[in-house]
Structure 1
Amino acid sequence: MSDTILVHATGELLAEKAAWLAALADERNASAHTIAAYERDLRQFLVFLTGYNARPAALADLADLRTAELRAFLASRRGDGAGARSLGRNLSGVRAFLKHLERKGLVSAAGARAMRAPKAQKSLPRPLSVDDALEVTEDAGSFAVEPWISARDVAVLTLLYGCGLRISEALGLPGDALADPNERAMAISGKGGKTRLVPLLPAVLAAVAEYRRLCPFALPAEEPLFRGARGGPLRAQIVQRNMARLRGALGLPASATPHALRHSFATHLLAAGGDLRTIQDLLGHASLSTTQTYTAVDSGRLMSIYRSAHPRARRKSAAEG
Structure 2
Amino acid sequence: MSVDLLPPPGEFRTTQEIRDAKLAEKLARRRKLMLLWSAPVVLVVFLAAAKLLSAVLLNLAGTSAYEKQNYVTATDRFASLAFFNVVEPWKAPFNEGTAVYATGDFFTAKEHLDVALGLVPTAPEGEPRGEEECMVRTNYSLSLEGLGDEAMIASDFAMATDYYEQAQTMLADCGESGGNGGEQAEQAEERQQQSQEESQQQQEQQEQQQGDGEGEEENESPSEDESGGEESQSPSEGESGGEESQSPSEGESGGEQSQSPSPGESTDPRQDELEERNQEAQESREAEEQQSGGGDGSGQNW
TM-score > 0.5, shorter chain as reference: no
The structure whose Rg is larger is: 2
Relative contact order, CA 8 A, sep 6+: which one is greater?
A: 1
